């Protein structure tokens, strides 16, 4: 067995798997293996959770914990081994509570010795202690390659489901933080995790689970969209400042709207300016957030440039979710994590207690002693074109299509990354003719949102719907256009050219496939966790295809291929 094995992200080593002392993302083998053990134990919670639910036994804390713990294992979310030790401890406590309650309910309803069964190893294993050595010894036996005899196509589909669940869990956790509730979404996480452990689940059965995972992923996206807009209003077209103001600042990165809101409240009147970074750019379009005068604009660009941008920012930095990269000494004393994010040696702001806000006082105190940010750029950038805004001018959009002013829409959402091959997406944006519209959500937009691609009849050629968390908007827009033209989504003048990096992009892909969307281009590489046979199935069923040469793909897109 290698020291570690991970192939969940697009940048996995040689598009095969990270196997040595650390991943390309920067996580250590130690953290990777602890994540494997945590997933193993979440399958144990799911074993008892699915059985208990059938008998009326529900532990809402355990249901939400499964989502939070899955979220913690997303690429670039948490690099702190001690945080995973604590999550493993909690997983075992919650699993055992469910086991005892499920067994008691079983015995009461049915009686007999089968109700006393401890279940499979993942449903009953306990460590002798919680030292790293003990946990890592177990972790090395439960990773992706632990069963050398497992059919590679079954392994591929199991991992596709798990990575989709990680993305869905992120959406669900964000929704719950913002006030959204849907127990069926949390239950579906456990049902699908449980399915990945069953030996009677072959390729066909697992493909059905993939379909259901996409369906519930769409439900989780809708839940998050509703929670955010109910709390902060619908995003509206906004020109976001890209420059800086004099005075100390706090830079907020990640995805969490509630964290930003509470920080803005706690910094109001302090003379500290708050800036967004990366995917937080989208928050500048929400009426409930943009109302704060000290929300100064957006600083920098995509997540992978953060080391240089965090150095030049000079102020305090808050990482609210995934997208953190290994922290450099040049800003180590200015960065904080919160939520499911974490990094060894970096101060972590604790979760909010019921009815109270998070305490950002340490972050604010650090910011007070910082210099003004160094300006990286200036000007403005248009955002805020989520489904509510676009559909409010649907008649204008439809008329532009009918008149020929808009020839085609191209969905270019998803993730950004470091690889040079991602220049492809900039090239496609530049090569698309001026009568095409780019619909985007996620950090992939940083490849083309500052290229000045112009407008069509007052409509920006890059319609930015927001974060990867807002990919639901692109689906709503596509469905509304299909209804308006009385055709299927696949018959619209609409193409999908998706960039992926981590697991939220995986659940977006599964949601699109569950909706029957075809001819999706995906890149810069196809996922390493897809076996060739699974790729062949997806190609046959959905015409999924890898990206190719930018010019060739543009020509194919314009031809509807």
Is 374 part of any domain? no
Q: What is the pLDDT of residue 118?
A: 80
Average the pLDDT over 474-485 and give the result: 96
Local confidence band at 116 (pLDDT 50, 70, 90 cut-offs)? confident
Asked if residue 436 and residue 554 are part of one domain, the reply reads: yes
Domain CATH for 305: 3.40.50.2030
Alpha-carbon gap, residue 439 to 407, rounded angstroms: 14
Alpha-carbon gap, residue 463 to 400, rounded angstroms: 15
In whole numbers, what is the pLDDT of the chain averaged over residues? 96
Q: Do 484 and 509 contact (CB within 8 A), yes or no?
A: no
Query: In 3D, which of 254, 276, 252 has the Cα closest to residue 340?
Result: 254
Domain CATH for 3: 1.20.1270.20
Residue 494 has phi, psi (to 5 degrees) of -140, 130
Is 215 part of any domain? no
Asked if residue 362 and residue 409 are part of one domain, the reply reads: no
Asked if residue 133 and residue 84 are part of one domain, the reply reads: yes
Is 518 part of any domain? yes
Q: What is the pLDDT of residue 107?
A: 86
Residues of the chain with pLDDT > 70: what percent?
99
Asked if residue 360 and residue 265 are part of one domain, the reply reads: yes
Q: Do 302 and 443 contact (CB within 8 A), yes or no?
A: yes
Asked if residue 409 and residue 548 are part of one domain, the reply reads: yes
- Long-range contacts of the stretch 53-56 (C-beta < 8 A, 24+): 53/187, 53/190, 55/102, 55/105, 55/106, 55/109, 56/105
- Long-range contacts of the stretch 360-365 (C-beta < 8 A, 24+): 360/262, 360/263, 360/266, 360/267, 360/318, 361/266, 362/336, 363/250, 363/263, 363/316, 363/318, 363/336, 364/250, 364/266, 364/267, 364/270, 364/272, 364/316
pLDDT tens column, 299-330: 999 999 999 999 999 999 999 999 999 999 99
Name the domain boundary from 368, 391, 408: 368
Is 112 part of any domain? yes
Name the domain boundary from 91, 115, 146: 146
Local confidence band at 117 (pLDDT 50, 70, 90 cut-offs)? confident
172: Cβ–Cβ under 8 A, 6 or more apart, which residues? Answer: 67, 182, 185, 186, 189, 220, 223, 224
pLDDT at 253 over 90: yes
Local confidence band at 20 (pLDDT 50, 70, 90 cut-offs)? confident
Q: Strand 408-411 vs strand 380-383: parallel, antiparallel, or unpaired?
A: unpaired
Q: Do 400 and 406 contact (CB within 8 A), yes or no?
A: yes
pLDDT tens column, 334-353: 999 999 999 999 999 999 99
pLDDT at 120 over 90: yes
Q: Which residue carries 């994010």 as its tokens?
A: 341
Maximum separation of any 2 CA atoms in the chain, in Å? 73
Q: Do 46 and 31 contact (CB within 8 A), yes or no?
A: no
Residues in the chain: 561
Alpha-carbon gap, residue 364 to 360, rounded angstroms: 6
Q: What is the pLDDT of residue 287?
A: 98
Local confidence band at 113 (pLDDT 50, 70, 90 cut-offs)? low
pTM metric for this prediction: 0.97
Asked if residue 136 and residue 79 are part of one domain, the reply reads: yes
Asked if residue 135 and residue 21 are part of one domain, the reply reads: yes
DSSP H or E stretch at residue 318: strand 316-319
Q: How many domains does the chain have?
A: 3
Local confidence band at 114 (pLDDT 50, 70, 90 cut-offs)? low
Is 517 part of any domain? yes
Q: What is the pLDDT of residue 552?
A: 98
Residues of the chain with pLDDT > 90: what percent?
96
Alpha-carbon gap, residue 204 to 223, rounded angstroms: 29
Alpha-carbon gap, residue 242 to 381, rounded angstroms: 7
3-state secondary structure of 462: strand
pLDDT at 183 over 80: yes
- Long-range contacts of the stretch 16-21 (C-beta < 8 A, 24+): 16/528, 17/528
Residue span of the structural domain in which 307 resides:
238-368
Alpha-carbon gap, residue 438 to 462, rounded angstroms: 5
Q: What is the pLDDT of residue 125?
A: 97
Asked if residue 422 and residue 496 are part of one domain, the reply reads: yes
Local confidence band at 1 (pLDDT 50, 70, 90 cut-offs)? low
Alpha-carbon gap, residue 33 to 19, rounded angstroms: 11
Is 48 part of any domain? yes
Asked if residue 416 and residue 346 are part of one domain, the reply reads: no
Query: In 3D, which of 18, 8, 73, 10 has the Cα closest to residue 40?
Result: 73
Is 169 part of any domain? no
Name the domain boundary from 146, 179, 200: 146
543: Cβ–Cβ under 8 A, 6 or more apart, which residues? Answer: 518, 519, 520
Is 54 part of any domain? yes
Asked if residue 551 and residue 413 are part of one domain, the reply reads: yes
Asked if residue 140 and residue 71 are part of one domain, the reply reads: yes
């Amino acid at each position: 067995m290698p020291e570690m094995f991970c192939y969940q992200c697009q940048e996995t080593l040689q598009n095969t798997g990270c196997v040595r002392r650390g991943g390309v993302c920067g996580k250590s083998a130690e953290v990777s293996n602890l994540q494997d053990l945590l997933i193993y134990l979440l399958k144990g919670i799911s074993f008892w959770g699915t059985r208990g639910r059938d008998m009326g036994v529900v532990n809402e804390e355990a249901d939400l914990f499964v989502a939070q713990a899955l979220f913690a294992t997303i690429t670039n979310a948490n690099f702190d081994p001690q945080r995973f030790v604590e999550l493993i401890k909690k997983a075992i406590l919650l699993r055992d509570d469910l086991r005892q309650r499920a067994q008691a309910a079983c015995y009461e309803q049915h009686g007999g010795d089968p109700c006393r069964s401890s279940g499979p190893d993942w449903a009953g294993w306990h460590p002798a202690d919680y030292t790293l050595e003990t946990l890592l010894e177990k972790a090395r036996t439960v990773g992706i390659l632990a069963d050398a005899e497992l059919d590679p196509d079954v392994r591929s589909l199991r991992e596709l489901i798990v990575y989709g669940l990680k993305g869905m869990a992120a959406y669900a956790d964000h929704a719950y933080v913002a006030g959204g509730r849907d127990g069926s979404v949390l239950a579906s996480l456990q049902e699908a995790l449980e399915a990945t452990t069953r030996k009677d689940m072959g390729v066909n059965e697992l493909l059905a689970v993939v379909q259901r995972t996409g369906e519930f992923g769409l439900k989780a996206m809708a839940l998050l969209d509703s929670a955010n807009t109910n709390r902060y209003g619908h995003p509206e077209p906004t020109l976001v400042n890209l420059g800086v103001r004099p005075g100390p600042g706090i830079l907020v990165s990640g995805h969490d709207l509630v964290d930003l809101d509470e920080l803005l409240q706690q910094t109001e009147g302090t003379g500290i300016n708050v800036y967004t970074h990366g995917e937080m750019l989208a928050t500048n379009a929400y009426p409930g957030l943009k109302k704060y005068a000290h929300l100064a604009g957006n600083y920098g660009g995509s997540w992978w440039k953060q080391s240089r941008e965090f150095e030049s920012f000079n102020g305090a930095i808050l990482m609210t979710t995934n997208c953190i990269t290994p922290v450099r000494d040049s800003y180590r004393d200015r960065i904080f994590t919160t939520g499911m994010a974490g990094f060894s040696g970096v101060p972590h702001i604790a979760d909010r207690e019921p009815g109270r806000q998070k305490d950002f006082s340490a972050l604010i105190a650090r910011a007070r002693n910082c210099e003004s940010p160094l300006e990286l750029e200036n000007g403005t950038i248009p955002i805020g074109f989520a489904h509510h805004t676009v559909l409010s001018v649907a008649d204008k959009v439809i008329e532009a299509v009918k008149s020929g002013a808009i020839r085609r829409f191209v969905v270019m959402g998803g993730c950004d990354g470091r690889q040079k091959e991602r220049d492809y997406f900039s090239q496609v944006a530049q090569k698309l003719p001026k009568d095409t519209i780019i619909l985007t959500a996620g950090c992939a937009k940083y490849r083309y949102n500052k290229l000045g691609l112009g407008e069509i009849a007052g409509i920006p050629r890059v319609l930015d719907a927001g974060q990867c968390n807002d990919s639901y908007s692109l689906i709503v827009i596509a469905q509304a256009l299909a209804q308006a033209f009385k055709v299927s989504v696949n018959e619209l003048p609409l193409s999908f050219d998706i960039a992926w990096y981590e697991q939220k992009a995986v659940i977006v892909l599964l949601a699109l496939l569950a909706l029957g969307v075809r001819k999706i281009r995906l890149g810069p590489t196809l996922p390493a966790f897809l076996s060739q046979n699974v790729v062949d199935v997806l190609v046959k069923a959905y015409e999924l295809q890898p990206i190719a040469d930018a010019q060739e793909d543009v020509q194919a897109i314009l031809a509807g291929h």
